[in-house]
Structure 1
Amino acid sequence: MSERNYRAAIVGTGGIAHAHAEALLGSGGRASLVAVADTDAGRAGDFAAKFGVARSYGGAEQLLREEELDVVHLCTPPQSHAPLAIACLEAGVTALVEKPPTLSLAEFDALIEAERRSTAHVATVLQHRFGAGAVRLRRLAAAGELGRPLLATCATQWYRDEDYYAVPWRGTWESEGGGPTMGHGIHQFDLLLSVLGPWSEVTAVAARRARSVDTEDVSMALVTFESGAAATVVNSVVSPRQTSELRFDYERGTVEVAHLYGYTDDDWTVTPAPGHDDLSALWAAGRAGGSSGHSGWLAAVLDALDQGEAPPVTAGDARRTMEFIAALYASAFTGERVRSGQITADSPFATRMDGTGTPWEKVRNP
């Protein structure tokens, strides 16, 4: 165990901040939650009292000015992620940013530039990469135990009603950056990308089928990878039977996980291909407890900081996922296949995820 104790703060004390606080309190003394901040000072005070935090502030500026911090957990609505992360980096404090990290690829590139100028780091909170099943799958794949990846399916089919979108910042391109592609399915397809590696091309559709929002409420994509594998990706907030599912078909077997908001090892199954029964034993040998929650992710962050390294998920890792999102939208709204690297700084889809505009907006404003 590291002898260092990292001084941490949380900015934004809404629902997801509770998971961050619990992870910090459960870190075994590796990190301490010393302060919180929220534009709603009363909510910040209530949150601080609940988790035994000594100090609360009415904003991040005062927090950064008055506290000596190692890391700040950014749990605010998406439109404030980039400016707050840049403020942390300029103060020499590592920023751990909830998903989506920025509203656009251009904003994310500005974040990368800020990191280059700083002694600190920025990392995106994509905790599903760090559950035991995902770690084991990547290890077995890298070791060649599964053979070549052939096919994958990735589905985030959730249900969010009109009351959910009554929160002012939800469902708009200006404040949330996108719909379920940006804010819901990102966990599953980020895990898909972390397993299958660099993607090559995306062909997609996105639509607004049922919710009175500016963004899409469903999207689907066909993705090819540099490895030769192909995958489908589905993102939805209109699906009454909610599920989060990933399936990977390799030469030597199929590996699957089905859950909702977080998985354990019990949620994974392995089906060996004929003649490869040893795969079941290989998988079982690595079984572990715990879930794909914030605690495992935080442990990986602290391990990296102990080694003087950038915490996971690094800016480079997250940029590949953000570029995938931009490519999906670009394909959906232009009707074209989009290749990796095609969305350059001068593309409208670099500055806004809706790029040249959505079909439904064009119908409303011909």
Structure 2
Amino acid sequence: MAVKLRVGIVGCGAGRTHLVEGYTPNSDRFDVLALCDLDPRRLAAVADEFGIGRRTLDFAELLAMDDIDVIDICTPPAVHLEQVLAALAAGKHVVCEKPLVGSLAEIDQIIKAEAKAAGRLMPVFQYRYGNGIAKAKAVIDAGLAGKLYAGTVETFWKRGPEYYAVPWRGKWHTELGGVLMAHAIHPHDMLTYLAGPVARAFGRVDTRVNAIEVEDCVSASLRMADGGLVSLTATLGSADQITRIRLAFEHLTIESDHAPYRPGEADWQIRGRTPETEEKIAATLADWQYVPSRHTTQLRLFHEAITTGAPLPVTTADARKALELVTTIYHSARTGHDEALPIGPDHPLYRSWAP
């Protein structure tokens, strides 16, 4: 029988999703003992729904609970830094929603704190997990793809005034960015998860859909570390909603499912360029075991990492790479130049990409 980790969740909006998709399917691995939220009605509603007795409006009170092993942070982005550092200082393991923080300086601060802490920190990139993307990753990891030629990542979503009626959204100091930071960061992480790191980026951002401070349209051109070329396009003004990743490799082409928020779940199209490659793909996937999507698998792997000492499924280093790409595209959009990664403390936007 698995050792159960005892969890306290702060933020009952995204926190409810974690309960539905992550903790309930993994109830043999986790006990959610406490919830924290600033809204008493939302707190009561979610706690009642899942039968959670301990409820608090005070984050410090949640941290002081000695029988909590894991703090799951599902609050607005602007408070992540403070809460992550406090949770690590309290000796807890930490799960934190994206975006982890609002600058590379802040994530480097967290990396230093984590190195000294008893607990371990897992950023949330749940789009990496699902049966479709797992098959694609297995084929790539088996060495069947060859070098990347070119690819596209499309995040065509729909957000209007009702979405931005939530006070912290659409503002630099609270949401920390727009479609590039808050929405397309997931498909862009899927890209690097499959195709490796980015070496250079040229980007444009604009606010064309909503009356907000942050951007809601993005176009970028990437040179990957292995030389492949990838274009990124994102908007919050689409009439319908899709997420699509298409990657043309030397020996095969992969295309994701188009479901906007679950693009990793359904089977992906994986086409070999020759009959021989098709046979190798089939052999690689012959004894396939189904991989549940999103939080279900990420939190199962988190439990395994914490209880056995295995590597975390997503690390602060992964989150830093995602924020490096965000920073580089924002910087390129202002300079009008192709910009290089990785980024160190001497970069002009290291401490903040906000205007």
What is the TM-score when the length of structure 1 is the normalising length? 0.91
How much has 1:304 moved relative to structure 2? 1.1
Alpha-carbon deviations, 1:90-121, whole Å to 9, x = none?
01111111111111111111111111121111
Candidates 10, 15, 18, aligned match of 2:16: 18
Displacement after TM superposition at 1:66 (Å): 2.7
Structure 2: how far apart are the matches of 1:216 and 1:313?
27
Residue 55 of structure 2 is matched in structure 1 by: 56
Q: Does 178-187 or 113-122 show the bigger shift? A: 113-122
Determine helix, strand or coil for the equivalent of 2:174.
coil
1:203 aligns to what SS in structure 2? Answer: strand
Deviation of 1:347 after TM superposition, in Å, equals: 3.2
What is the rounded CA distance, in whole Å, between the counterparts of 1:253 and 1:353 in structure 2? 37
Q: What do the CA deviations read for 1:309-332 (whole angstroms, capped 9, x no partner)? A: 453211111111111111111111
Cα deviation digits, residues 120-143 of structure 1 (max 9, x gap): 111111011122332332232122
Alpha-carbon distance in 2 for matches of 1:79, 1:154: 27
Structure-2 residue corresponding to 1:345: 345
Do the aligned partners of 2:131 and 2:266 also contact (CA within 8 Å) in 1? Answer: no
Deviation sequence 1:231-266 (CA, Å, 0-9, x none)? 111121111121000111111211111221113653
Question: What is the alpha-carbon distance in structure 2 between the residues aligned to residue 143 and residue 290 of structure 1?
Answer: 17
How many residues were matched structurally?
352
Match in the other structure for 2:218:
219
Match of 1:271 in 2: 271
Q: 1:260 to 1:4 in 2, by over 3 A?
A: same
Alpha-carbon displacement from aligned partner over 1:126-168 (angstroms, at most 9, x marks no partner): 0111223323322321221122222111111101001111111
Aligned to 1:323: 324
The residue that corresponds to 1:34 in the other structure is: 33
Superposition CA RMSD, Å: 1.7
Contact 1:263/1:292 (8 A) holds in 2 = no
Moved more, 149-158 or 19-28: 19-28
**Paired amino acid for 1:36:** L
Separation of aligned partners in 2, 1:308 and 1:19:
26
* Alpha-carbon distance between aligned partners in 2 of 1:283 and 1:163, rounded to the nearest angstrom: 46
CA separation of 1:113 and 1:129: change in aligned 2, threshold 3 A: same
AA aligned opposite 1:148: K
Contact 2:85 2:110 in 1 (8 A): yes
3-state DSSP of counterpart to 2:266: helix
Where do 1:1-366 residues align within 5 Å?
A: 3-14=2-13, 16-22=14-20, 23-257=22-256, 258-263=258-263, 266-275=266-275, 276-279=277-280, 281-282=282-283, 284-285=285-286, 287-289=288-290, 291-309=292-310, 311-341=312-342, 343-354=343-354, 357=355
Post-superposition shift, 1:284?
Answer: 5.0
2:101 partner SS: coil
Identity score, percent = 30
The 1:303/1:66 distance shift into structure 2, 3 A limit, reads closer
Unaligned runs of 5+ in 1: 358-366
Judge which range, 126-135 or 277-286, deviates more. Answer: 277-286
Greater mean deviation of Cα atoms: 272-281 or 235-244: 272-281
* Residues 344/147 of structure 1: CA separation in 2 closer, same or farther (3 Å cut): closer
Report deviation, 1:274.
3.3
* Range with bigger deviation, 240-249 or 304-313: 304-313
Matching residue's letter, 2:331:
A
Tell me if structure 2 keeps the 8 A contact 1:6–1:32.
yes
